[in-house]
Structure 1
Amino acid sequence: MLHPNIATSIVLVIMLYVSDISFGVYNTGGEYITSFLGVCIVVLAVPMYQQLRILKDNLWLIVCSSLVSIYCSFFSMLLFAKVFSVPGTFVFSLIPKSITSPMAIEASRITGGSESVAVLGVLVSGILGAMIGRFILDLIRVRDPIVRGCAFGMSSHVMGTTQALEEGEVTGSFSAVSIPVTGILTIINLPVFTRIVGYFFL
């Protein structure tokens, strides 16, 4: 079956096309919903608070693994872009693909990329992580809930966290706390990433 985000997008596109409604008109109302994206992340604080002691004990694990994650994500994206001759503007937009949409939008503004492409990258990475993340972790026999949680949060942000929460509070908590850590580290490293992209694509 299709992932809910894919199914919803398809239905929405069909409705807009049939009704002959432009995206600009649709987005006039949609932007109010979009503004709540950042606020909705707050609900993830509940499982995080419940697992606060374990999170504190493993804080450096989260930070270090997030740092490794964003660089692995960046260089894999860079390799993909180079192999398939992706335009530089798109590459700048895809740098923040593993963080949440609000942060990705701001990051794309900083890098000079396209906000739409940035959000698309976030959606694709989130959907892929939610759809096949559990399968891959099971395939390589990752059983530790802490490691699984970090993997979900760092690679597929909120969508992955929904899957992590289904596995338990510990997995969900580590996934949830990995989201802001990964986002912050991505923003901090943007100057490095943009310089590397500029060197290879400009």
Structure 2
Amino acid sequence: MSEIYASPLFGIVLCIFSFEIGLWINRKTRSPLANPLLIAIAICIAVLQGFAIPLESFQQGGQIISMFLAPATVALALSIYSQWEVLKKNFLPILAGTLTGSLTSIVSVLVLCKLFGLSDELTASMIPKSVTTPIAMEISKQQGGIVSITVAAVIVTGIIGAVIAPALIKLFRVKNPVEAGIAIGTCSHALGTTKALELGEVQGAMSGIAIGVAGMITVLLTMFL
């Protein structure tokens, strides 16, 4: 049995099957709380804990999947290209909205970490929580943070955004699809964008744009910390 765990295929197959189960539950329940990624994470943890499988064995396959993070993010360019005219028409509002969202994210982290007395290392780990994982990992390294904590913070932020974004859009009566997309992408990166794509093509494209712009802005802002 240990030979199965030692194979990189174990981690890959476990991730794929866990996510497929999450998708099936999400389709059946149609509840925003039944997020496929959240369910997949819970299943993976349960399997690893239940069978006492070392994390290192799972990581052999997990690292291969991680290689596709950057290409998957770049693939969002397709939806952006399809909404090129919308982007040109709303360039300044998009830039202003993304800048405001990124600045708010960083300032809120700094204030809350100071309020709860967290160390500089943990603070640095939490700062890039609202940008996509490849960018967040590099920012965390440069700021002296703990990359594993950064990844966890990014995932939690994305899941929360994907779950509550539709409700917040209704609550604050956001009618403009460009505004909705930029807000989701800036706050909850690629995971939020998956929900934005469900809301509409424009929302998904604008959210994809916000991922890249917010990432660049966050990199620039953290240079002054």
- Scaled by the length of structure 1, the TM-score of the pair is 0.91
- Residue deviations 1:160-193, cap 9 Å, x none? 111111121111111111100000111111122x
**Pairing partner for 1:39 from 56, 68, 71:** 71
| Unaligned segments of structure 1, at least 5 residues | 196-202
1:20-39 maps to which residues of 2 (within 5 A)?
Answer: 20-39=52-71
SS at match of 2:128: coil
Q: Give the corresponding residue for 2:144.
A: 112
- Residue deviations 1:122-168, cap 9 Å, x none? 11110111111111121011111010010010000111111111121
Aligned pair count? Answer: 193
- Larger RCO (alpha carbons 8 Å, 6+ apart): 1
Q: Give the corresponding residue for 1:127.
A: 159
1:34-113 maps to which residues of 2 (within 5 A)?
Answer: 34-113=66-145
Comparing 59-68 with 170-179, which one deviates more in the overlay?
A: 59-68
Q: Give the corresponding residue for 1:12.
A: 44
Report the Cα distance in structure 1 between the residues aligned to 2:202 and 2:44, rounded to whole angstroms.
35
1:82 CA drift (Å): 2.1
Q: Give the corresponding residue for 1:200.
A: none
The one-letter code sitting in structure 2 at the alignment partner of 1:92 is A
Q: Give the corresponding residue for 2:173.
A: 141
Q: Give the corresponding residue for 2:22.
A: none
Report the Cα distance in structure 1 between the residues aligned to 2:68 and 2:125, rounded to whole angstroms.
22
Matched, 1:3 2:31: no
Question: Percent identity, aligned pairs only?
Answer: 35
Quote the RMSD (CA, aligned, Å): 1.2
Report the Cα distance in structure 2 between the residues aligned to 1:138 and 1:79, rounded to whole angstroms.
28
- Scaled by the length of structure 2, the TM-score of the pair is 0.82
